[in-house]
Amino acid sequence: MTMISRLAFVLLLCLPAFAQASWWNKDWSYRKQITVDTTAAGAGLTSGLQDVPVLVRLHTGNFTYFLDMKSDGSDLRFIAGDDKTPLKYHVEKFDPINEMALIWVKVPQLPAAAKTENFWMYYGNSDAKAAGDAAGTYDVAQSLVYHFGEAAGAPKDETAYGNNASASTAQPIPAGLIGAGEHFDGKGAITIPATPSLRLTADKGWTFSAWVKIDGPQQDAYLMQMQDGGQALVLGISGTDLYARLGGAQTPATAQVAPGAWHHVALVAGSGALTLYVDGAQAATVPAPLQDMGGVITVGGASDQTHGFVGDLDELGIAATVRSADWIRAEVRGEGVGANLLAYGEDKQLQGSDSGSTSYFGVILSNVTSDGWVVIIVLSVMAAISWVVMLGKGLLISRIHGDNKKFLREFEQLGGADPARLDAPEDDTERDFQDSPLSMALFGKHDHFQSSPLYRIYHAGVRQVKSRVGTAVGAQASGLSPQAIAAIRAALDAAQVRETQRLNAQMVLLTIAISGGPFLGLLGTVVGVMITFAAIAATGDVNVAAIAPGIAAALVATVAGLAVAIPALFGYNYLGSRIKDMVADMHVFIDEFVTKIAEHYA
């Protein structure tokens, strides 16, 4: 019997008996629970919705078991919360090499302001056949959906209506907001033929939605035009103002989209009005008499090849109905950057039931020798230290994430205002907790983002600016030279390095637990086995009953070493990925902040 097989045997003896919970189909080895959050922290729905396609976005941050799935993801199945009812779904992208996947799932019910709705994702069946159903993922009112995932040719419709584009001169891009997208250079456009399913009817209404990123202010560009004889429905952008026009009715210039960032835009025609939504919020509306109309739809320009749009487009949809504000908000909160409509639970593996098994752990522990207990005590101390580090880092990163979000929200709202407006002087509490980020996170004030590394970098940059332009912050007469801006960037980079060191502090203790725990455990096992065989040699008793307790007890040290290393490994990988994300955010923020400084003070 090898060392590994003995260890496996001991582990099996130590497992308590349990009955397996309900499992939809035992041909699938793994499952993951996904919860729909429609509270204010999630989608913020005020009314319930039905048959909503939601985006399941898998990546290393919420799913690390791509190798347990088939290479094309064909073993994926989605089951309702009752663990019985299959849900319609289809895969937009599945990339196990880069560990990412985009799957659209039709959720029957989205209750208002609740976290009661959930469903299961099953995977891990090498014999499973693909069961995706793109057409079934959408309700009957959805007339068109373009994912823009085609390698070549015009975009294809994912709905049952098959409203494929007849021509496209736009340029496919591999990295849109959700998978691939399309780029428009002011000359290209997508032409969609007129069909009955795409008609705007006055009694049912009509909704157009897409994710848009403009390269800069537009020269009266058309995102969409429906031309029906002398009548046209237009969704356009003039400068950075989004507008909708039908006949003589045009929305006021109150809907704006900032260049260089993805925005969800939606046009709803219904109830005698045209209404615009930007990022899930109503931005403009105007009364407009509606009548039935159809005709060719052009995306990215006008039908006469004028009014060209310059920018990127992704996830285009048209519905032959009025989509509610809650429906549009669910799209934004479920598809955009930082989407929080879905919460991903832990992955679970199917286990066999063995109610008659008995645990001999107490017997094994009673045979552990004194040297084995020394190793186990040392490992227990290492485990306690690693858990304290993981818990402390987890709390710290959670607080940092919250403060970073609040600070970025305030920073993005500055627009063209003075970039130093958010700066605040340090108080005594901040100075007291300067060397203890965890104490600041738990006990410090957070009235101006004190736990945010982004804010501390920003604060360092503002001090550099103040030292160069004087105390009258915002006075542009004494502008900054290119050399001064370069010096400020160097100071920001230095601050970023210090913040990275603060984030990575004590992470080395986890690496010590990961690498040292198994070796210490192996040392205890080897010593225990030596003592067992020495006792056999001294007594001459070589029967199995004499050997087994000593060998099993010796293996406990290895189990203890693995028990130290495995949680530390998971915690280190999780915390490390969160820290990498924060470091990346710092790099991006420095570029944005230096740009604002250069624009405002140069």
Distance CA 251, CA 277 (A): 11
| Average pLDDT value for residue range 172-190 | 94
The pLDDT of residue 545 is 56
Pick from 403, 398, 395, 379: nearest CA to 457: 403
Per-residue pLDDT for 46 more than 50?
Answer: yes
End-to-end C-alpha distance for the chain, whole angstroms: 75
Segments forming the whole domain that contains residue 44: 30-138+339-349
Per-residue pLDDT for 18 more than 50?
Answer: no
Q: Is residue 37 part of a domain?
A: yes
| Average pLDDT value for residue range 542-558 | 72
Is 410 found in the same domain as 315?
no
Is 590 found in the same domain as 455?
yes
| Average pLDDT value for residue range 444-461 | 77
User: Higher-confidence residue: 311 or 396?
Assistant: 311
Helix (H) or strand (E) holding 395: helix 370-412
Is 149 found in the same domain as 43?
no
Is 196 found in the same domain as 121?
no
Q: Is residue 2 part of a domain?
A: no
| pTM to 2 decimal places | 0.58
Is 314 found in the same domain as 167?
yes
Q: Is residue 7 part of a domain?
A: no
- Asked if 183 and 173 count as a contact pair (C-beta separation under 8 A), the reply is yes
- For residue 295, the Cα-to-chain-centroid distance in whole angstroms is 38
Q: Is residue 245 part of a domain?
A: yes
Distance CA 353, CA 368 (A): 30
User: Higher-confidence residue: 248 or 18?
Assistant: 248
Write out pLDDT tens, residues 142-165: 999 999 999 888 999 999 999 999
Per-residue pLDDT for 483 more than 90?
Answer: no
The pLDDT of residue 202 is 93
Pick from 17, 28, 8: nearest CA to 349: 28
Per-residue pLDDT for 372 more than 90?
Answer: no
Is 345 found in the same domain as 306?
no
The pLDDT of residue 540 is 56
Is 345 found in the same domain as 377?
no
Is 278 found in the same domain as 162?
yes
Pick from 398, 405, 341, 404: nearest CA to 57: 341
Is 343 found in the same domain as 298?
no
Q: Is residue 5 part of a domain?
A: no
The pLDDT of residue 444 is 56
Per-residue pLDDT for 127 more than 90?
Answer: yes
The pLDDT of residue 439 is 64
Q: Is 353 in a helix, a strand, or coil?
A: coil
Q: Token digits for 335?
A: 């598809």
- 286: domain CATH number is 2.60.120.200
Q: Is residue 12 part of a domain?
A: no
**Mean pLDDT highest for which of 152-161, 432-441, 498-507?**
152-161
Is 146 found in the same domain as 132?
no
Q: Is residue 13 part of a domain?
A: no
Q: Is residue 67 part of a domain?
A: yes
- Asked if 313 and 210 count as a contact pair (C-beta separation under 8 A), the reply is yes
Q: Is 68 exposed, middle or buried (0-12, 13-18, 19+ CB in 10 A)?
A: middle
Is 125 found in the same domain as 103?
yes
The pLDDT of residue 170 is 95
- Asked if 165 and 154 count as a contact pair (C-beta separation under 8 A), the reply is yes
Alpha helices (H) in 413-506, listed in sequence order: 428-432, 437-443, 453-469, 482-504
Is 225 found in the same domain as 125?
no
User: Higher-confidence residue: 11 or 322?
Assistant: 322
Banded pLDDT at 467 (limits 50, 70, 90): confident
User: Higher-confidence residue: 526 or 478?
Assistant: 526
Q: For the chain, what is the domain count?
A: 3
